[in-house]
Amino acid sequence: MDHIVDLGKGILLKPFLASFFISLIATPVVIKIANYWGLVDDPKKRKHPAHTEERIVPRAGGLAIFLGIAVAVGIFLPFSKQLAGIMMGSLIVVVVGILDDKFDLDPYFRLVTNIVAALIVVGSGIGISYITNPFGGIIYFDYYRITFNLFGSHSIVFLADLLAILWIVWCMNMVNWSKGVDGQMPGFVGISAIVLGLLSFRFTMIDLQQWIVATLAFITAGAYLGFLPFNFYPQKIMPGYGGGALAGFMLSVLAIASGGKVATALLVLGIPFLDAGYTILRRLLQKRSPFWGDRGHLHHKLLDLGWGKRRIALFYWLLSVILGLIALNLTSRAKIFVIIFMALALGGILLWLSLLLPSLRREDQDSG
């Protein structure tokens, strides 16, 4: 068994390193392209309450990350309809991201493109057919099937496909919202992808298709970690909408392809997941659109508390490592309990910060 594990590590290390170095080499080139074409974030011209950068910084980092993933996929993975769907969907995400970097697209238009990318993946044959029941057994979603004839027989697994679309779109937005400070997002995405890759690797002896999933996970991790040196404080380039949405897209697809490990993905992405959930709830209670950004995410509150950007990024990475190790060693039932505990804990922290920060601002004003 040990020699099989060593062989697996070696096989997965090569695609990881390939995507890492492709992304690392491509990023300086993308920086020059972004500056030349005006794909930059200028706080004076582009005011947004969620932004934390005061310098003019190139965007379009998603292009470098996509190149790392796409080239490594072409080298190491065999062609399949599902893989083609994943790459086509990811290309749409990155193209929309570049357009957003230039023109600041309407968030509702971006949401529509999210759905289109998810539909392409689902149309290629990737859906949530089942999930493990934390209280025992398996919950199946492939009972409701719609069959039709259009140049041949086709079928739509209604509930499984609908859940997959909702899951992919949710993850794209959830992860994208957690890229507010330098190095924050590429770090926890790389860690999360490695966890999902290791999870798939466990089942390669039972299901050979999991080799492909594990390889794609390590390719994704390599591409984001290769981009990280240029995004860490002080960042030389931002991931942009394309980089953030692509991260959520890839992680959501990997969670489905690794055998419906949605609970594992939710746990390892626990902080972005819960932060996004509380953000939507807060905006709805304030009678505001959940899709228009504001300065109310956890990383914003930590900045207001006096934390530096490096510290916030390292905080997200550390929690991702801890939650990843927990996810790899807990049962499905235990994962659910941990997620519930995290929801209560983070909710309490956000409430405490919401009450504390205004009083700190009043004290600063009084002391002046």
Stated pTM of the model: 0.91
How many Å apart are CA 267 and CA 339, to the nearest integer?
A: 6
Q: Which of 227-231, 266-270, 340-344, 356-360 has the lowest mean pLDDT?
A: 356-360
How many Å apart are CA 17 and CA 222, to the nearest integer?
A: 6
Structural domain that includes position 194? 2-367
Q: What is the pLDDT of residue 340?
A: 87
- Percent of the chain beyond pLDDT 90? 60
For CA atoms 92, 94, 95, 100, give the dihedral sign.
positive
Residue showing tokens 């997002």: 185
Q: What is the pLDDT of residue 2?
A: 44
Taking only the tens place, the pLDDT of each residue in 197-219 is 998 988 776 777 889 999 999 99
pLDDT of residue 303 exceeding 50: yes
79: left (phi over 0), alpha (psi -120 to 50) or beta: beta
Mean pLDDT, rounded, of the chain: 87
**Nearest 5°: phi and psi at 360?**
-65, -40
Domain count across the chain: 1
What's the CA dihedral at 334, 339, 341, 344 to 10 degrees?
-160
pLDDT of residue 115 exceeding 50: yes
Contacts for 42 with CB less than 8 Å, ≥ 6 apart: 56
Tokens representing 40?
């930059």
SS3 assignment, position 146? strand
Residue 21 Cα distances to 49, 64, 72, 194, 225, angstroms: 34, 11, 10, 17, 9
Q: What is the pLDDT of residue 359?
A: 57
Q: What is the pLDDT of residue 159?
A: 85
